[in-house]
Amino acid sequence: MSAIDDIVAERRRQIEAEGRKPERDDAYQGGELARAAGMYALIAGASATDYRNARDGYSLNDYLQAILDHYWPWAKSWFKPTTRRSALVKAGALIIAEIERIDRADDGVEQ
């Protein structure tokens, strides 16, 4: 299975298994889907052992937690990263959801 196939399968799973139907996605007009995708992509690019970015006694994990607290749009229990690849697949599926939402809104006029 290719990466694109995995992203499409994840999007399908989100719709069928989690009930993330287009009508529900349409309610997210504040960038929630894009922010969630960004969080998954960010976590995929972070390494728990990479402390090169640590400043003033805060670890990279501290920064990631603060970003999650500020930008993750839903309950923390919904954020479920596992592997880097899985997080990127979820990010891709959420990006598709946001693009589809934009396309449905106002005849595709970006908001």
Q: What's CA 63's distance to the chain center, in Å?
A: 17
- Which tokens in the block code for residue 105? 């809104």
Predicted local confidence at residue 55, as pLDDT = 58
Predicted local confidence at residue 61, as pLDDT = 77
Rounded Cα gap, residues 64 and 61, in angstroms: 5
For each successive 10 residues of the chain (111 residues), what is the average pLDDT? 95 94 94 96 75 61 84 91 92 97 78 52
Rounded Cα gap, residues 55 and 70, in angstroms: 19
pTM: 0.84
Rounded Cα gap, residues 76 and 89, in angstroms: 19
Rounded Cα gap, residues 42 and 87, in angstroms: 9
CB of 97 closer than 8 Å to CB of 25: yes
Count of CB atoms situated within 10 Å of the CB of 28: 18
Domain ranges of the chain: 3-108
Count of CB atoms situated within 10 Å of the CB of 2: 7
